[in-house]
Chains A and B, each alone.
Chain A
C-alpha cells in the first residue's frame, strides 16, 4: 500500500513541478516589469486579453497552438524510443514545401481528398527527411542529435533555393511559391483571425498517437525500446528498426506541421517562414515530459503566452521579449527539475534495485 502511495506521489510530482516552474517564471517576469516601472495589473490584464478576449485574440492563440502541439508531438514520439529528433524544424520545412507544391499542382480534387492527400504527401516528405538521421543512427551509430541539427540547415537552405529559383511566384518580389488551390485550403474559423480547422486536425493527430502508444503493438515496442533497449532486444523486438521507425513517425508529424502552416495560414511556402516553430516543439515536449496527454495543455498555455505577449506589447508598451524571458525561465526550471527526476531514477535502479 505504501508503494501505491509513493507511486501516486510520483505521478503528482511532475505536474506540480511544472506548476512551480511556471510560478517562478511569473515571479521573475513580474519582478522585471516592476524594475522597468510598469503597472503590473495593467500588464497582466493586457496579457490575458491578448490571449483570450474576442475572436481575433483567441484565434491568434489557436493559430499558435497548432504548430506548438504538433511539433511537440513529433519530438515526444521519437523521445519515447530514446531517439532525439532535433530536426523537426527541417522536416517541417520539407513538409511545407511539399504541401505548397502539391497544393498548387494537383487540380480538380474535392477539397477533403485534396487536403488529405497533401497532408499525407507532406508527412511523407518529412518522414523521408527524418529517415536519413534515423538510418545513420541505426546503421552506423551516428549521434542523431548532431545529424538532425545539421540537416535542419540543409533543409532550410535547400527549400530556400527551391523557392528562390525553381518554384517561385513570378508575380511577387518576395521569395514565395504560387498560391495553393482553393481546394487545398483549410477553412478558417474565428474570422478575422488566421485560426483554421488545422486545430481539429492537430487534435485528431494527437488522439491518434495517444491511441497508437497505448493500444498497439508498435506503441508498446516504441515504449519498451525507449525504456530498456536490452530488454526489447531480448524479447525479440528489432530495437534498431523500431528506433528508425520512431524517427520516421516523428518526421511524418513534423512534415504535417509544416503543411498545416501552408494550407491553413499562408496559402503558399514563404522562404524562411518558420522561425523555429520546430524548436518550440522541443520545449513543449520537455515541459510535458513527453506525456502525450499533457501535450495539448502545455502547447495551449505557451500559445496563450505568446499570443498574449503581442497584445500586451500593443496596449502597454511592455516589450514582448519580456514574455520570452518568462518562457525561458520556465523552461530552465522545468528542465533542471527533469534532470533531477532522471537522476533519481538512475540511482534508484543502481542502488536499491530490488524492493524486498
Chain B
C-alpha cells in the first residue's frame, strides 16, 4: 500500500547548522510511528517541515502518493496533517470550545454557531474517548486536559495524520496511560499517529514502527516488536550507553539540609508551598518527584533565596538560611543548578569563561580587592572546560554558541566546582542530549560519594528512581510522602504524584497485583 506520508531527501540548513542532511521518512496509514532521537537530531525540524512551519531546502513530500509543496500550516491542515506541539497553543482565558474552533468557526448568518461546534466537539470527544469539559476555561484545565483539547482541535480541523511532539513530557504515568488509550483508539479509527519522544519505554509500548534519528540523518526504522531499548539507544547515540547507573548505597552522614514546616506563596495557587518538611543528609541524594507545577520550582526557589518564605525555617548544616539573599545562601554552602538554564543559569551573551566563574569571582584567587585576575580566571575556565568536557573547548566564545547539553555542562561545572555541602539540582538533564545526561548523572553520583548532600528535582521518573536514595513526592505544594528508593517504582510514584498517600498508593498497587 502507498504510504500516507512520504518524505524523501529532505535537507534543511539553518544559519549555523545543517539540521537535516537528506532524510527519508515514510508513514503507513493507520500506524503509530515513533520518531526518536536526541535533542538536535532533527525530529522537530522534520515534523515542522511536514506541518508547513518550515520549508525544506531540498527534498520532496508526498501525501497519499501525491507530490505536495506545503507552504503553510493551513496547507498541512488541508492535507489532513495536524500537530500537537510540546508547548500548547491555547488561549488560557478562553473556553475549550472557543479554543478548538478558533479560526475555523462554523457560521450561521455570520454569527458563530456555538451549538453546532459544541455538538461536533462532543461527538469527537466521545468517539475517541477524549474526556474534556467543553465549557470550562483552559486556565482551569490540567495539563492532561489541555493536551486532549489540543488533540481534539487537530481532529476538529480534519487531521488524518496526527503529529504528537513529546506529548508525555508533561504527564504523570497514569495520564500517559490515558493518552496511550486515546492513541490506540485513534489508530482503531484509522488515524495515523506520529509520536515524537525520547522515552524509550513509552516508544516501545505504543508504536508499530520506530524511526531513529541522529545528527540530521535517519539511522534506521525498526518494527517495535523487534526493537529493544538497548538497540534504539545505541542507534540514537552511536555507541552503547549506560543510563541506569545505580551506585551502591552511600554512606549516609549527618543532616545537611533541614526544612521545617515551610510555607510560601507560589506562582499559582496549586503550587503554594504548604507546610513542607524534610531533611537531606550528607552522602545522600533525595529525589523530588512530581508533575511539573506542583510546587517543586517554588521549593527550590525558597531554598536558594529566590522566593520569600512565609512560614517555617530552613537550616543548612545547622545555620538558619530562611529568607537570606541568594548570595548569602551560596556563601553558607548551597549551590544550585537551576531548572531554566537559559534564563537563570547562564548569561548567553557572556563568554563561557565569564559564565563559569560568575559565582566565584568575588573571592580569591579570581579577584583581589575587586580587581579580576585574568590569569586565574583563564586557568580555572580551561580546567573546568576540560574536566567537564565542554565543547567546543574554547572558553572565550559567547555561551549562546553552545548546544543545550554543553550549556548545561557549563552550569553543572560551575555549581559542582563550588564544592558546596548542599547541591540543589533542578531538572539537571532536561532537554539535554543522551551523552550529556549520562555524564551529568555520573557527576551527581560522584558528588554523593564525596559526601555531598544532593536535592534532585526531576520530572523524569526514571532519573529520580535511578539516582535517588530516598524519594519525596510533591503534589499541590505538599509532600505527600517520602519513601526509600528501594520501595519505589513508577506505579507507586505515579499514584502519589496524582495526590495519593504513600500507604494508599501501596494498597492500590497490591490490589492491581491481586487483580
Contact = CB atoms under 8 A, between A and B. Distances in A.
* A and B: bona fide binding partners: yes
Given A6-B15, A234-B306, A224 B342 contact: no
Contacts of A237: 327
A356 B327 contact: no
Interface of A: 2-4, 6-7, 215-218, 220, 223-224, 227-228, 230-238, 348-349, 352-356
Contacts of B431: 354
B440 interface: no
A354 B431 CA distance: 10
A217 B344 contact: no
A232 B348 CA distance: 12
Max chain B C-beta neighbours (<10 A), residue from A223, A227, A236: A236
Interface in B316-366: 325-331, 336, 338, 342-350, 354, 358-359, 361-362
Max chain A C-beta neighbours (<10 A), residue from B328, B358, B403: B358
Contacts of B372: 215-217, 220
B362 A217 contact: yes
A115 to B, nearest CB: 26
Given A217-B370, A223-B350, A227-B349, A355 B401 contact: yes
Interface of B: 14-17, 19, 39-40, 304, 306, 325-331, 336, 338, 342-350, 354, 358-359, 361-362, 367, 370-372, 374, 397-398, 400-404, 407, 431
Contacts of A233: 306, 326
B345 A234 contact: yes
A251 B358 CA distance: 27
B338 A234 contact: yes
A224 B325 CA distance: 18
Contacts of B354: 220
Contacts of B331: 236
B17 A234 contact: no
Closest 9 CB pairs of A and B: A356-B40, A236-B327, A354-B404, A228-B347, A234-B344, A235-B358, A3-B401, A236-B330, A231-B347
A224 B370 contact: no
- Tell me what chain B mostly uses at the interface: helix, strand, loop, or mixed: mixed
B41 to A, nearest CB: 8
B432 to A, nearest CB: 10
Given A227-B349, A231-B346, A237-B327, A355 B370 contact: no
A233 B330 CA distance: 11
Given A230-B344, A236-B325, A356-B39, 20 more contacts: A3-B401, A215-B374, A216-B372, A217-B362, A217-B371, A224-B347, A224-B358, A228-B343, A233-B326, A234-B304, A234-B306, A236-B359, A238-B325, A348-B400, A349-B348, A349-B400, A354-B403, A355-B16, A356-B17, A356-B40
A218 B367 CA distance: 11
A129 to B, nearest CB: 25
A223 B355 CA distance: 12
A231 B343 contact: yes
Given A231-B346, A234-B344, A3 B16 contact: yes
A35 B149 CA distance: 65
B345 to A, nearest CB: 7
A231 B344 contact: yes
Nearest to A215: B372
Contacts of B397: 3-4, 7
A354 B402 CA distance: 7
Nearest to B408: A354
A238 B327 contact: yes
A215 B367 CA distance: 9
Contact of B401 (A7, A218, A227): A7
A50 to B, nearest CB: 41
Contacts of A232: 347
A282 B117 CA distance: 56
B407 A215 contact: no
Contacts of A353: 342
Contacts of B403: 354-356
